[in-house]
């Protein structure tokens, strides 16, 4: 069951984003400082997970399709929000010496990322 072209994100846009991410990651890996590698990986993961969730094939039933879109957007927002937290707090997170200095929010964000990764691998 595949949806029509109007129900999916255009393939050309996804390819452009994918090649742009590849170029960005290649440049960041070769010429960027070591500490920004976590930021580059978080940006890459956010874009990749967004594409993975928003590109899913959906049901033809309008009610089920609406629920599927809502769940996909919710999971995408959870992934992007969690990875944005890592990007913003990258310096602090890299300077932690152990798990005893993690805040409850750090642990919650980690659990959200684990749940998102499990959902992505399930699909």
3-state secondary structure the chain: CCCCHHHCCCHHHHHHHHHHHHHHHHHHHHHCCHHHHHHHHHHHHHHHHHHHHHCCCCCCCHHHHHHHHHHHHHHHHHHHHHHHHHHHCHHHHHCCCCHHHCCHHHHHHHHHHHHHHHHHHHC
Taken in order 114, 120, 121, 122, the sign of the CA dihedral is positive
pLDDT classification of 84: cutoffs 50, 70, 90? very high
Mean pLDDT in residue range 84-94: 85
Mean pLDDT in residue range 99-119: 87
Nearest to 51 by CA among 108, 95, 8: 8
Q: Is the pLDDT of residue 1 over 50?
A: no
Please list, in sequence order, all residues whose beta carbon lies within 8 angstroms of the beta carbon of residue 7, skipping any fewer than 6 positions away: 58, 65
Give me the phi and psi of 58, to 5 degrees please: -115, 165
Kindly calculate the radius of gyration of the chain based on its CA atoms and give it in whole angstroms. Answer: 17
pLDDT classification of 95: cutoffs 50, 70, 90? confident
Predicted pLDDT at 4: 53
Task: Indicate whether this model's pTM tops 0.85.
Answer: no
């Amino acid at each position: 069951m595949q949806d029509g072209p109007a129900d999916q994100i255009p393939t050309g846009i996804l390819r452009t984003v994918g090649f742009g991410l590849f170029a960005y990651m290649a440049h960041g890996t070769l010429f960027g400082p070591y500490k920004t590698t976590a930021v580059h990986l978080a940006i890459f993961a956010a874009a990749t997970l967004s594409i993975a969730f928003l590109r899913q094939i959906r049901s033809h039933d309008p009610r089920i399709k609406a629920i599927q879109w809502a769940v996909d957007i919710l999971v995408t927002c959870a992934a992007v929000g969690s990875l944005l937290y890592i990007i913003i707090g990258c310096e602090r997170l890299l300077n932690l010496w152990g798990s005893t200095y993690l805040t409850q929010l750090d642990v919650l964000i980690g659990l959200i990322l684990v749940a998102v990764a499990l959902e992505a691998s399930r699909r």
